[in-house]
Structure 1
Amino acid sequence: MESLLNIGLSIVASLIMLGFGYIIGRIRERKQQQGTPLEDYPFYPFKVNQDNLLCFDLDLFNEAVSELLQKTNPQAGRQLVLIGEQNNVKHLLKNPFRKRYYKLYKKYKGDQVLDESVNYLKNYKRIVQHIGDSFPDSGIEILLHNLTNPSKALYYIKNNVTGRNIEAPATNLVLDLKRRNSHNEDKINYELNIGARKFKCTTIPIYKEKDGLIGAICINIDYNYINDEVRHNPKIMNSFLDSIIRTDMVLNENILSKSEFQKAQEGKRHFRDF
């Protein structure tokens, strides 16, 4: 009887060990399939130059291509494909480096990576469209950049005040956003002076899990129009304000907090009305 009990316990112990082994194996397999971020490697293809600016490094990029061809890492591989496309390496590289990049591109399904990024940005396109519709004829431009293809980055634009067209290039936006990310800056307001034109600009990067930076929403305000025309011309001021407060329909809904709702019931008309 005791021997049968020992046998039974041995079988149970063996099954438990097999179960643990299976679970550990699946965890390792899943980690291998997911990979690790490209930033974790010493060959991450960006470095800080003498002016303390983040710059794309082609030598590190080639090293990364070699390493990720030898050792499979889906996450790092996808990120490297996006970085390669963002920095136009197909035209920068010469053989045999170009051939190796094409091999990497095929290994990590580059076409699929780019298509998934474009599909991901479609939701942001709707956001840009609806925000733009809320500020018509106001000198406030909002646009969406597809940074997986910087040479044709301008993906969608609403309330055009800069005169750019769809598929216009993104200039230095990719590196600029990567520099901001290295300083933990999610978004920033900055001024642009171009000839007699002046703009207040806000750029918000769009990151996709496991792929990194794939796009950006940019809001450009025509500073001179707001400051010179709207501020000093009552007729234009009225038109400007009318365009901003225009609505399409009326809802019967309360969006106020309980305390603000009570104050509204008592006659408070706006947030600075105390």
Structure 2
Amino acid sequence: MFLEIDVEHSVLVPVISEVVVSLLLFAGGYFIGKYREKAKLRGKDLDEYDFYPFEPDQNNFPQFNLKDFRLAVHYFLKNKDHTAARQLIFIGEQNNVRNQLESPELKQYEKLYHVYQGSKIEDDNNAFLENYKVIVRLLGQTFKNTGIEILLHNLMNPSRSIVEIENGEVTGRKIGMGTTMLVLDLKKRKERKEDKLNYELSIGDRKFKCTTIPIYRNDYGLIGAICINIDVNYINDEVLQKRDKLEEFFRNFCATDMKLQENILGKDEFEKANKGKKHWQQHDI
């Protein structure tokens, strides 16, 4: 009897081992396949292709290029790239290509639109950027009348990228206006691991201190940017040179709309505040 059990045990062990190994290999193959499938679906960003349908004009402003758009449509009908094709559809819809394409080309575009589920694209990105629009609006209203402009670019469509702006009188821009080569610049900076922070812009006699914060999505890559622009000449020539302008600036800077009872101080700072400390640089408490 003991011999029979030992025989059965000696047979079962290698069988179970083979089953376990087979299951592990199957699972590994399954997940590797899923990873490759996902990577294939991810594809590239549209601006990595030579037919990216925007080109700068003589003033360095991007203009929609219908010829490159048509080339892209035909390419993505033959070569699958989920990311770039959906970016192309988004740009096409925003630039009203349905009224620009000839009948045969329009049929090809509608086929592309159906294959890549175009109906979901615009709403998806607009919804994603909605919270950023709120952030820009509220931050901008915090700095009213101080020469500080804050705006949001939707970079899926560079020719009409500004979708939210506060204090636009600083640069004279409005919702619906475009950007220059911001997409390409931010792409290069990402590769170099550089932030676009606290940089100077001089345009004619105007001078600005600027910060640009890119917004990325896994499915689309770079889709937007928040920009902060400070009118340096206004600060230097008006605010710092004229007492009434200086007082006005800081009244606007410190202006509030309501008064609440909340604590935003750390424990030590809270205790010091109750003992008479008035600001962060006071050290005699």
TM-score, normalisation: structure 2: 0.70
Q: For the residues of structure 2 that align with 1:44 and 1:100, how far apart are their CA atoms?
A: 22
Q: Deviations over 1:31-72 (max 9, x none)?
A: 514634527xxx9437xxxxxxxxxxx9xx999988865564
Q: Deviations over 1:133-162 (max 9, x none)?
A: 101111111111111111111111111121
Q: For the residues of structure 2 that align with 1:150 and 1:64, how far apart are their CA atoms?
A: 17
Conserved? CA contact 1:33–1:73, under 8 Å: no
Three-state SS of the structure 2 residue aligned to 1:189 is strand
Aligned 1:25-44 pairs, distance under 5 A:
25=30, 28-29=33-34, 31-33=36-38, 35-38=41-44, 44=48
2:243 is aligned, of 221, 231, 234, to 234
Three-state SS of the structure 2 residue aligned to 1:203 is strand
1:246 is aligned, of 251, 255, 269, to 255
Q: Does 1:219 align with 2:233?
A: no
Aligned 1:69-148 pairs, distance under 5 A:
69=77, 72-75=80-83, 77-78=85-86, 106-148=114-156
Counterpart residue number, 2:26: 21
Aligned 1:165-176 pairs, distance under 5 A:
165-176=174-185
Measure how far apart 1:241 and its partner are: 0.8
Q: For the residues of structure 2 that align with 1:184 and 1:198, how far apart are their CA atoms?
A: 26
- CA-atom RMSD in angstroms: 4.3
2:158 is aligned, of 141, 150, 155, to 150
Measure how far apart 1:14 and its partner are: 5.7
Q: For the residues of structure 2 that align with 1:186 and 1:270, how far apart are their CA atoms?
A: 31
Three-state SS of the structure 1 residue aligned to 2:270 is helix
Q: Which amino acid aligns with 1:28?
A: G
Identity %: 44
Measure how far apart 1:171 and its partner are: 1.7
Counterpart residue number, 2:60: none
Measure how far apart 1:79 and its partner are: 5.7
Measure how far apart 1:260 and its partner are: 2.0
Q: Deviations over 1:88-138 (max 9, x none)?
A: 8x7xxxxx9999887656533345333322221111000000001101111
Q: Does 1:194 align with 2:203?
A: yes
Q: For the residues of structure 1 that align with 2:276 and 2:130, how far apart are their CA atoms?
A: 43
Three-state SS of the structure 2 residue aligned to 1:262 is helix
Measure how far apart 1:224 and its partner are: 1.5
Measure how far apart 1:190 and its partner are: 2.0
Q: For the residues of structure 2 that align with 1:45 and 1:101, how far apart are their CA atoms?
A: 18
Q: For the residues of structure 1 that align with 2:175 and 2:185, how far apart are their CA atoms?
A: 21
Conserved? CA contact 1:132–1:142, under 8 Å: yes
TM-score, normalisation: structure 1: 0.73
Measure how far apart 1:265 and its partner are: 2.7
Which runs of no fewer than 5 residues in structure 2 stay unpaired? 51-64, 98-103
Q: Which amino acid aligns with 2:249?
A: F
Measure how far apart 1:4 and its partner are: 9.3
Counterpart residue number, 1:206: 215
Measure how far apart 1:175 and its partner are: 1.3
Which runs of no fewer than 5 residues in structure 1 stay unpaired? 47-57, 91-95
